[in-house]
Amino acid sequence: MTKVGVIGAGMTLFRRRLEETGKELCFEATKMALDSAGLTRGDVDMVVCGTAPDAFDGVAMKGEYLLDGSGGYRKPYTRVFTGGGTGVFSTIAGWWHVASGLADVVLVVNEEKMSSCQPHPQSVFAHIWDPILDRPLKPNLVWIFAMEMNRYMTVYGVKKEDIARVAVKNKRNAVGHPCAQLADPNITVDDVLNSEVMAWPVQRLDISPPSDGASAVVLASEDFIRKRRIKDRAWISGVGWCIDSTMWTDRDLVFPEYVARAAKHAYKMAKIDEPRRQIDFAEPYDPFD
Amino acid sequence: MRVGIIGVGMTAFRPSTPEYNWKELMFEAASRAYADAEINPREDVDSFLTCAEDYYEGFGIFDEFVPDQLGAALRPTCTVSGDGLQGLANAYMQIQTGLVDVAVVEAHSKASDIVTLDGVIEHALDPIWNKPLGAHPFVVAGLEADAYLRATHTSPKALASVVAKNHGNALRNPLAAYGAAVDVEDALRSPERFAPLRALDISNPADGCVVLVLASERAAKKLHSNPVWIRGVGWASDSPSLETRDWSDAAYTRLAAEMAYRLAKLRRPATEIDVAEVDDRFSYKELQHLESLGLAKKGEAGKRVVRGDYGPEGRLPVNVSGGSLGCGNVFEATGLHRAAEVALQLRGDAGVRQLDGVRVGVAQSWRFIPSATGAVAILEVPG
């Protein structure tokens, strides 16, 4: 198994980006990532694109549409898609392109443009349900998170105030981040608890906002990194991915077993047996706090 | 490390399947593939891949609707938004890393569920430059067919020969939806559609599902299977923009083939390949793809199909399955169906359409309108 390192990264401003197409957002992130790695498109062997529902951008076969902005012209190019988990998953796909020995340098580009979805991207989430069993109930995305959050609070005896602290921490952390959309240095737990109730116990400030943006990373094989004497690199030591049943009524709403299994796989590969002691920092997905 | 195909499962291809929903279609093909490979998906499979596009499926996040019917719930599963051969290539890479021993690749079409199929395809055109023109998306194929015929001096009779051959081949394939005794004159007289393409030059949609089980050499040995080896894979994309792509040469196939031949160490593909299954969703595409694969010189594929070189008894049998013209357009499952057909031929399991002495085969795919993306896989059995 070829060792794989991350040697470049780029990220655009996350906002309602009305002046740029999705292709242009991809180009911006791609250029930043290649510049930070000191490479050009000519050094790239293959490209992996990660982007979620096509209906956000309003283009079918969105991967094909984003291809030239992502640097995929006349190269092996693949789009992968695992719903909300696509952002991390695309890097895993990039990893196997290099670890398999088929590519030396792979560009991984992620894009999402929710602002083109009118009147609100929530309307796309009306189409993520089973057409026979769920859709006639007209559910929306907030409902399912409300049920999960309620169940989590009930089973573990977690207070709403405690969960609100996550929103406060993350919005404060975003202060000074050049890409952040909703940084707020003065936000308090009370602000979250007093924000509009969407579907109890989920309130407006518990939810991440729709956004437009792109990010990219450059992955390279150990050989390439050594030959080019690249000093700035982070090794990918473990990967894991997993999916639960389609039927959310059959899932454990309290404990995300799919995350536990993906993590177990990645830890085993990275030879981590005490994650709580051995891991220095974490960036978990937090669409809802 | 060698990677092989150890299980093939397919449903029949039909213009519509009102008796099945998409999950049942996937379940049938998967069950057949697991039975063929003699494996238990809950114990023996390390990774599942589906090839699907949201708009074709009518879902916001189709990936969520994949696991249960494949036996993949709470297992590593992902979607490659691409043709089935791109899914095969990703499974091949996963196994090459050493992390995965057995992988399952699935692709399907439930086109009969799509109320506005033309609208969905049109929705893939560039929203600023092309879609506002309001043309039917197949105009792109008409223009490309025209460019190809002019650049290669290919006659309309060559397109009609492809149509007659593939519909005829499909009569000997029990899975095919559109087998028919069509002769060259019928094809030349069929109604004009997107000039120079006529009605019979265009494949019709079909429902169907294909599942392949892939395994590393080590796992194949442990499972006592007789694999069809994947000697090489390649995939590539030309420009997504209609204005800047190559209109006569399928550059995506040329590049994908170069990669696959390099991995397969195939120096003279035209003499080493015994059987080919190439994308023919428009009749000219078969000829264009054969040339881009290096299996015919530029401008020669048309002459050779008229001569009968590509028939089941010809020098290079092409689309013995009936192709998409004969089996139906199964969208993202198209490439995977072709790999499955080549695997069956190489295993000697192709029934009445079985060819003699085939050892090396090529499967090629294209992602349909308006893409310029394709993939190639070289399969082989020991001589």
ipTM: 0.97
**What does the block give as tokens for B193?**
């559609």
Distance (Å, whole) CA A216 – CA A12: 9
Q: Which residues contact A263 (CB under 8 A, 6 or more apart)?
A: A240, A275
CB contact under 8 A, A127 and B98: no
Residue B197 phi, psi dihedral angles, 5° rounding: -80, 140
Per-residue pLDDT band for B369 (boundaries 50, 70, 90) equals very high
CB contact under 8 A, A242 and B75: yes
Taking alpha carbons only, the member of B343, B205, B179 closest to residue B281 is B205
Closest CB from B61, B75, B237 relative to A77: B237
Give the model's pLDDT for residue B316: 98
Q: How far is A192 from chain B (nearest CA, A)?
A: 29
A-chain residues within 8 Å CB-CB of B50?
Answer: none
Choose from B79, B105, B249, B253 for mutation: most chain A CBs within 10 A.
B79
Q: How far is A163 from chain B (nearest CA, A)?
A: 27
CB contact under 8 A, B74 and A243: yes
Q: For residue B269, how many other CB atoms are within 10 A of its CB?
A: 19
B-chain residues within 8 Å CB-CB of A125?
Answer: 60
- Torsion sign over Cα B31, B35, B37, B40: positive
Q: What is the pLDDT of residues B330-364, one digit of tens each?
A: 999 999 999 999 999 999 999 999 999 999 999 99
Q: How far is B146 from chain A (nearest CA, A)?
A: 23
Strands B47-51, B228-237: pairing is: unpaired
Q: What is the pLDDT of residues A36-57, one digit of tens each?
A: 999 999 999 999 999 999 999 9
Residue B92 identity: Y
Distance (Å, whole) CA B32 – CA B366: 26
CB contact under 8 A, A81 and B79: yes
Report, as an integer, the average pLDDT of B95-112: 98
CB contact under 8 A, B63 and A78: no
CB contact under 8 A, B236 and A102: no
Which one is predicted more confidently, B1 or B138? B138
Report, as an integer, the average pLDDT of B111-137: 96
Closest CB from A21, A78, A100 relative to B82: A78
DSSP codes, B15-33: S--TT--HHHHHHHHHHHH
Report, as an integer, the average pLDDT of A69-90: 97
Give the model's pLDDT for residue A249: 86
Per-residue pLDDT band for B23 (boundaries 50, 70, 90) equals very high
Closest CB from B63, B82, B97 relative to A99: B97
- Return the H-helix or E-strand segment holding A95: helix A86-99
Residue A278 has pLDDT above 90, yes or no: yes
CB contact under 8 A, A125 and B82: no
Give the 3-state secondary structure of residue A288: strand
Per-residue pLDDT band for B100 (boundaries 50, 70, 90) equals very high
Give the model's pLDDT for residue B300: 98
Choose from B46, B53, B54, B123 for mutation: most chain A CBs within 10 A.
B54
Set out the domains of chain A in order of their start, with CATH numbers: 4-118+210-236 (3.40.47.10), 122-206 (no CATH), 240-283 (no CATH)
Distance (Å, whole) CA A217 – CA A4: 12
Residue A248 has pLDDT above 90, yes or no: no
CB contact under 8 A, A82 and B89: no
Angle, CA of B30, B34 and B36, to the nearest 5°: 115
Report, as an integer, the average pLDDT of B166-195: 98
Distance (Å, whole) CA B74 – CA A264: 12
CB-defined contacts A:B, below 8 A:
181
Residue B379 identity: L
Q: How far is B371 from chain A (nearest CA, A)?
A: 6
CB contact under 8 A, B90 and A93: yes
- Are B102 and B42 in contact by the 8 Å Cβ rule? The answer is no
Choose from A243, A249, A265 for mutation: most chain B CBs within 10 A.
A243
Q: What is the pLDDT of residues B275-310, one digit of tens each?
A: 999 999 999 999 999 999 999 999 999 999 999 999
Q: How far is B66 from chain A (nearest CA, A)?
A: 7
Give the model's pLDDT for residue A219: 98
Q: How far is B259 from chain A (nearest CA, A)?
A: 9
Residue A59 has pLDDT above 90, yes or no: yes
CB contact under 8 A, A79 and B82: yes
What does each C-alpha distance from B3 to A103, B145, B221, B230, B308 come to in angstroms?
A: 17, 37, 11, 6, 34
In B171-214, alpha helices (H)? 184-189
Closest CB from A55, A73, A78 relative to B90: A78
Distance (Å, whole) CA B169 – CA B176: 9
What does each C-alpha distance from A207 to A14, A166, A210, A273 come to in angstroms?
A: 16, 11, 9, 33
Choose from B49, B99, B106, B244 for mutation: most chain A CBs within 10 A.
B99
Residue B45 identity: V
Q: How far is B75 from chain A (nearest CA, A)?
A: 5
Question: pTM value?
Answer: 0.97
Give the model's pLDDT for residue A140: 87
Q: How far is A84 from chain B (nearest CA, A)?
A: 9
What does each C-alpha distance from A242 to A147, A258, B72, B73 come to in angstroms?
A: 22, 5, 9, 8
Report, as an integer, the average pLDDT of B366-377: 98
Give the model's pLDDT for residue B383: 79
Distance (Å, whole) CA B212 – CA B166: 24
Average pLDDT, chain A: 96
CB contact under 8 A, B55 and A265: no
